[in-house]
Amino acid sequence: MKMTQKLCRFCIDIIYPNRCPCCGEFIVWNELICSECAGKVRIDTDSLCRKCGKAKEDCICTGKLMYDEAAAISYYEDEAKTGLIAMKNSVSRNFGWYAGIEIGSWIMTQPEWMKCDGIVPVPMSRSKKMLRGYNQADIIAKGICDVTGIPLMKDCIIKKHSRQEQHTLGAKERAENVYSFIPAGRDLDGKRLIICDDIITTGSTINRCAEILKDCGAEKVYAAAAAVTVRKREEQDGSN
């Protein structure tokens, strides 16, 4: 986080005291999440399937994956889900920063990932970004950039306006809806990139984005997310 952003957080804290985005407890102005929630949400990234990024029992590697490896720092349930929903609803960006820093710290331990030339956040359509005020994938990506020093590359993929939200669709519709992502026409010859999103559900969004980046010449595409859904949860709430 830059000095100006820190100063901004300090001043905002005087008017709106900083809270943990997961449990709502008051926290110090320069904290992003309370230590109790941090202990609950952070999973062992290395316990996930290295290739698809899902929990090993939910592995989706049998499908055609366009990305080379994937990683996440939490499961989309309980405190992590609350933190991500708070970010989606423009209530708090804290979980995005927290996830970005945690993913960044994990990437620092991965020599192959550290060879990457850029972090590419999954884009949001202009109209949706105007409505929300920000793209949550941008926040996570900036957190990763801050920690790793790998530059942010936002102008690689365009998201066209689509009437239906990806998370409201079933697996088949998700797979079709991803064609609202199109290349921005940038030459990415030989580049190694990390595509970044908030949640990996069916993997269709990051798969389409990885396909675009590779069509534009990218040599390797890794995927990083704040959270991955777990099948148990998907079956319970029927949301995916």
Interface residue list for Zn ion (CB under 5 A): 20, 22-23, 34, 37, 49, 51-52, 59, 61
Phi, psi of 119 (to 5 degrees): -105, 125
Shortest distance in whole angstroms from residue 32 CB to Zn ion: 10
- Identify which of residues 61 and 171 has a Cβ nearer to Zn ion in the complex: 61
Q: What dihedral angle (degrees, nearest 10) is formed by the CA atoms of 48, 50, 52, 57?
A: -40
Helical ranges in the chain per DSSP H: 3-15, 35-41, 78-88, 94-107, 126-132, 136-148, 171-177, 204-215, 231-237
Shortest distance in whole angstroms from residue 49 CB to Zn ion: 3
Shortest distance in whole angstroms from residue 22 CB to Zn ion: 4
**Which tokens belong to 47?**
């316990």
Closest to 66 in 3D by CA, of 79, 53, 48: 53
- Identify which of residues 96 and 118 has a Cβ nearer to Zn ion in the complex: 96
Shortest distance in whole angstroms from residue 165 CB to Zn ion: 26
Shortest distance in whole angstroms from residue 179 CB to Zn ion: 24
- Identify which of residues 150 and 228 has a Cβ nearer to Zn ion in the complex: 228
At residue 119's C-alpha, the angle toward residues 49 and 109, to 5°, is 50
Sign (positive or negative) of CA dihedral 42, 81, 120, 138: negative
31 exposed, middle or buried (CB, 10 Å; 0-12, 13-18, 19+)? middle
- Identify which of residues 36 and 155 has a Cβ nearer to Zn ion in the complex: 36
- Identify which of residues 68 and 138 has a Cβ nearer to Zn ion in the complex: 68
